[in-house]
Structure 1
Amino acid sequence: MTMIKLAVAEAPINKRTKQPGLSPGTPVFVGERKVDEVRIHVMDYDKQRLDEYFETSLEECARLKAFDSVTWINISGIHDVEMIIELGETFGLHPLTLEDIVNTTQRPKAEDFDDYIFMALKLLQYDTVNNTIETEHASLILGHGYVLTFLEDSQDMFDTVRERLRQGKGRMRGLGADYLCYALADAMVDHYFTALEQFGDYIEILDEAILDSPQAQHMQEIHRLKREAIRVRKAVWPLREEVSYLDKIDSPLITPQTRLFLRDLYDHIIQSIDMVEGYRDILGSLHDTCLSTVSNRMNEIMKVLTIIATIFIPLTFIVGVYGMNFANMPELRWGWGYFLVWGLMILIVLGMMIQFKRRGWW
């Protein structure tokens, strides 16, 4: 029997807590605080060198911004609104951008502000304990010679990009900030495939468990997974428009060489969308399969009970006849009457069972 662990409760969903009536562009943190302190990690590089700074300050970020090299500033933790505002003043970010950075419920999108390009995305990571796909808010800003990334916590997904920069192999160190921005977005989308594949594996396990022995909890799990798929769809679908927008805008921040890679990223996003839609269809059919399996199991039980009841109908009739209290029933005083009745009932049972077997009812 295939065993699965059903999630006890769904992952908490961030709710919008921003006070109504605030003026547009007012940064207010919306979401769940996931780190105690905001950490800033910086990588400054060109073809010949790479400088890496851990636990740096905003003053150091402002100093590195003035160089001709490519500067990647990663901020882990977006709950410190004052720090985000100060960083926005340093890099000349629009108040609407700052508002979207600290709002974890922001829909994925891309906006061109002439001096920089803002991208809001969602990170996907599969939780093997609760069998859920966790979504986190992420923001990317592409400017002249720099890239800013904002994450909710320190468990980011950019380690592969960092290793490529440290090793200095390939085209990473030789291209500009726009290629770095593409590489970071591509790393996020690659994690989409990992999370979605694990999600699909769990659906297959659930499918086998339903076919093996359907339970009432399986229906609840299917409904939970369908809600998970809808939530993931909301995180993935807007990326198609976002990347398509980046490929079409006339911005000097994105070179023609990088646009080719953006088209490849667009194809990857389409593949992830197809996976999400496929899993939604599978969950829909799995719901019908579960209902059909339960119905078939109930039909089998009812068939057995019907056969038993049908066998006992003539036996009940015979016993009822000879259970009447008439004084002149001839068989009552016959010495072989009791054995005759038993023999008759046994013959009826055997005859009915043979007929059921021939007709394929049993």
Structure 2
Amino acid sequence: MKDFDITRPDKLLFSGLKSLVSLPISLYTDQKSKAKGSGQVSFIGEKKVEEVTTQHYLYNSDTLDIVNENAHDTFPKNLDDKKTHWLNIYGLHDVQLIEKLCTDLKLDRITLRHVLDTTLRPKVEAYDSYLFFSIKSVLREGDEDLKVEQVSFILSHNYVISFQEEVGDHFDHIRNKIVEKLGLVRTKKADFLVYQLLDAILDNYYETIEWINTEVEQIQRQIFKEPSQDLLIRMEHMKQLAQTIKKALTPFKDSLRIIGSSDSKFILKDTDKYFMELISSSEGAIDEVQSTLNSLESLTNVYFSSLSQKMNETMKVLTTVATIFIPLTFIAGVYGMNFEYMPELKFHYGYHVVWGVMGMTFVAMFIYFKRKKWL
């Protein structure tokens, strides 16, 4: 059992909040156990599309062909060395389709397992005929959550295969560049296409971080006006999202470093500078999300400080009121005693005098507290 620091009640509160707002993380242990027990290649993850679809772009500086139907079947047969080939696959649950593709391209069976395992930590593996690497893509989903998706790539001399868990708009602008012949993508080789794909995913990270920063700014404006428990839960949720991004970005950067620093024959010399730019951008994204986490931590401290200040103000008022009424209660108590021979009981104006003494006592103490700025 986890031990809690009882001297920090905010930690106890956080432990409860995390159970409410933390992102669900499923390691699919049952699927992994069955796959290991059977010895067969299996898909591990959540089925996010009903049907696996594929798309094949064949291009060079002069020509462009697009295959949208059964592209996975025609792809291995049309690998013309004079063109760059990009096969994009939406959906990973069709094991037979992906296994046949890997067999036709003579890819290692370990690569097949890694493509089908969406819980895999991002990694880079170099083979004689290709380079495999997988990363995590993070996108905003709705107004409160993130969508984390594994994207895998296979890079060879003249082709790129990208595996996505579901249909998304990560690479729509790259397709437009290829179709409209914009930029350098049509004049470069497969390694430059990979750079473009990775750059698009990194842009999504920046957009998501910017969204979280906007949310943090709104929280910051509200917390100084009226701190509430809803704000605390919202802060904790944003913190969880920022931590998720950081956990995905760090291995993303490490993978880029391995790709950029290795003397891979699949990354041409004139493309190295682009991968170095990606490494620098990923480091900037990590710094940005760390700054966001620091801001959220500061806001959390401000929240608890505000609560403490409000409690102190309340206690000060209550203590002041109680202090003022202590002598009044004493006077009322003295003259409420039922002794027969109390000297002032027979005084004709005793009642009025007592009220006058109590009133003057109240006024005097009120003025004193005001001068001391206790009220």
Q: Are 1:36 and 2:50 an aligned pair?
A: yes
Contact 2:35/2:41 (CA < 8 Å) preserved in 1?
no
> How far apart, in 2, do the equivalents of 1:246 and 1:182 lie?
11
Instruction: Report the equivalent of 1:327.
Output: 340
Q: 1:142 aligns with which of 152, 155, 179?
A: 155
Aligned length: 356
CA shift for structure 1 position 37? 0.3
CA shift for structure 1 position 67? 4.8
CA shift for structure 1 position 24? 12
Counterpart AA for 1:15: L
> How far apart, in 1, do the equivalents of 2:111 and 2:220 lie?
44
- Deviation sequence 1:235-291 (CA, Å, 0-9, x none): 100122211111122222111111010000111100111012112222222222222
CA shift for structure 1 position 209? 2.7
Contact 2:42/2:113 (CA < 8 Å) preserved in 1?
yes
Normalised TM-score (structure 1): 0.92
Q: Are 1:352 and 2:373 an aligned pair?
A: no
- Deviation sequence 1:11-68 (CA, Å, 0-9, x none): 4323233017828995322211110000101211110122122233322212222452
Q: Are 1:13 and 2:40 an aligned pair?
A: no
> How far apart, in 1, do the equivalents of 2:297 and 2:340 lie?
68
Instruction: Report the equivalent of 1:249.
Output: 262
- Rate the CA distance shift 1:258–1:77 in 2: closer, same or farther, 3 A: same
Q: CA RMSD in A?
A: 2.1
Q: 2:91 aligns with which of 77, 89, 107?
A: 77
> How far apart, in 2, do the equivalents of 1:92 and 1:206 lie?
53
Residue range with higher mean Cα deviation, 274-283 or 320-329: 274-283
Counterpart AA for 1:141: I
Identity percentage of aligned residues: 35
Instruction: Report the equivalent of 1:191.
Output: 204
- Rate the CA distance shift 1:173–1:25 in 2: closer, same or farther, 3 A: farther
> How far apart, in 2, do the equivalents of 1:173 and 1:167 lie?
10
| Structure 1 stretches lacking a partner, 5+ long | 1-5
SS at match of 2:117: coil
- Rate the CA distance shift 1:25–1:169 in 2: closer, same or farther, 3 A: farther
Instruction: Report the equivalent of 1:341.
Output: 354
CA shift for structure 1 position 190? 0.7
Q: Are 1:181 and 2:158 an aligned pair?
A: no
Contact 1:133/1:228 (CA < 8 Å) preserved in 2?
yes
Contact 1:73/1:149 (CA < 8 Å) preserved in 2?
yes
- Rate the CA distance shift 1:24–1:145 in 2: closer, same or farther, 3 A: farther
Normalised TM-score (structure 2): 0.89
Residue range with higher mean Cα deviation, 199-208 or 271-280: 199-208
Counterpart AA for 1:14: S
SS at match of 2:155: strand
